[in-house]
């Protein structure tokens, strides 16, 4: 199959690689129909390079059609259309039972002191081949992948793999009071969805972002916006009776 591979700092390329195969009875093989690029992939391209190896397959935001299932998989059938969450979790350990799947005790990368494995995300997260490829091996396939309808195009579902739930969870953790004001720093994909989640939940949302096109996109969805500047704190207080927003989501990212 063909797959997008890491070749070195700031260097990726599509290469011919072996097809994935079922290795455990709980695996499934997915034929990928769509896959997104995450803001997090930029870290691999650059600062997390030391944790990558030449040839690693990237990608953790895929969806597709079930191609093959292991003998222990009962929830999925060949032909099902599925979205694959980026975390790999077992579904049966203590952390999974607490809905803390990113800390799954079965797939956790203990030698690095980190959480659950993630598709296509360096040795820090288990060096698992990723989904920017024609086929993907999915461990614990009964638990992670979720089935979606057949009617709507991929783009209506794909963002459920990471960016929508990430943004939604960020807004939940921000714990905005009813009718309160939420500031969202950064209006990339995560910030756009966080801001729209805030509007959807009835909050006043102020997005802070230096790129005008990204501010304009948020404004089309009911978000007030500001350019980033050194006086951003004062500007936010001015807009909120001198108090500042009730809650803040930081969606700029690691390098910043």
- Chain contacts with ligand NAD (rule: CB under 6 A): 38-40, 43, 162-163, 166, 185-191, 208-211, 214, 228, 251-254, 256
For ligand NAD, the closer of residues 73 and 183 by Cβ is 183
3: phi then psi, degrees, rounded to nearest 5:
-150, 150
Render the burial of 149-188: b for 16+ CB within 10 Å, e for the rest. eeeeebeebbbbbbbbbbbbebbeebebeeebbbbbbbbb
Q: Which of residues 94-123 bind Zn ion (CB under 5 A)?
A: 96, 104, 106
Q: Give Cα 207 to chain centroid, integer Å.
A: 20
With CB cut-offs between 5 and 8 Å by kind, which of Zn ion, ligand NAD, none does residue 120 bind? none
Q: Which tokens go with 145?
A: 């992948």
Q: Which stretch in 48-56, 90-98, 169-177, 193-201 sits in contact with Zn ion by CB under 5 A?
A: 90-98
Give me the least distance between CB of 30 and ligand NAD, in Å please: 20
Give me the least distance between CB of 227 and Zn ion, in Å please: 26
Can you tell me the distance from the alpha carbon of 55 to that of 123, in angstroms, rounded to the nearest whole number? 13
Integer-rounded Cα Rg, in Å, for the chain is 20
Q: Which of residues 120-139 bind Zn ion (CB under 5 A)?
A: none
Give me the least distance between CB of 23 and ligand NAD, in Å please: 26
Can you tell me the distance from the alpha carbon of 77 to that of 28, in angstroms, rounded to the nearest whole number? 9
With CB cut-offs between 5 and 8 Å by kind, which of ligand NAD, Zn ion, none does residue 32 bind? none
With CB cut-offs between 5 and 8 Å by kind, which of ligand NAD, Zn ion, none does residue 168 bind? none
Can you tell me the distance from the alpha carbon of 182 to that of 217, in angstroms, rounded to the nearest whole number? 17
The residue at minimum Cβ distance from Zn ion is 38
Task: By CB under 5 A, name the one of 5, 40, 102, 122 that touches Zn ion.
Answer: 40
Q: Are 132 and 35 a contacting pair, CB within 8 Å?
A: yes
* Short-list 137, 144, 27, CA closest to 84: 144
Can you tell me the distance from the alpha carbon of 77 to that of 79, in angstroms, rounded to the nearest whole number? 6
**Residue 142 in the binding site for Zn ion (CB under 5 A):** no
Task: By CB under 5 A, name the one of 3, 28, 32, 38 that touches Zn ion.
Answer: 38
With CB cut-offs between 5 and 8 Å by kind, which of ligand NAD, Zn ion, none does residue 26 bind? none
Give me the least distance between CB of 16 and Zn ion, in Å please: 25
Q: Which stretches of the chain bind Zn ion, using CB under 5 A?
A: 38, 40, 89-90, 93, 96, 104, 106, 162
């Amino acid at each position: 199959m063909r797959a997008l591979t890491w070749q070195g700092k700031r260097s990726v390329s599509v290469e011919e690689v072996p097809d994935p195969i079922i290795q455990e009875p709980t695996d499934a093989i997915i034929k990928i129909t769509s896959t997104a690029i995450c803001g997090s992939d930029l870290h691999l391209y650059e600062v997390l390079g030391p944790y990558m190896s030449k040839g690693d397959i990237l990608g953790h935001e895929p969806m597709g059609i079930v191609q093959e299932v292991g003998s222990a998989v009962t929830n999925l059938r060949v032909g099902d259309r599925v979205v694959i969450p980026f975390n790999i979790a077992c579904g049966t350990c203590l952390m999974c039972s607490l809905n803390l799947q990113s800390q799954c005790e079965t797939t956790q990368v203990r030698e690095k002191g980190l959480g659950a494995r993630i598709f296509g995300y360096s040795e820090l997260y288990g060096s698992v081949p990723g989904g920017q490829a024609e086929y993907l091996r999915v461990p614990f396939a009964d638990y992670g992948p979720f089935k979606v309808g057949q009617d709507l195009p991929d783009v209506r579902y794909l963002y459920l793999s990471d960016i929508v739930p990430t943004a939604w969870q960020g807004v939940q953790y921000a714990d905005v009071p009813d009718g309160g004001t939420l500031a969202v720093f950064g209006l990339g994909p995560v910030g756009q969805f966080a801001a729209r989640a805030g509007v959807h939940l009835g909050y006043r949302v102020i997005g802070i972002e230096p790129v005008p096109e990204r501010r304009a996109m948020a404004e089309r969805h009911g978000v007030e916006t500001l350019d980033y500047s050194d006086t951003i704190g004062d500007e936010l207080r001015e807009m909120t009776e001198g108090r500042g927003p009730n809650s803040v989501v930081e969606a700029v990212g690691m390098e910043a």
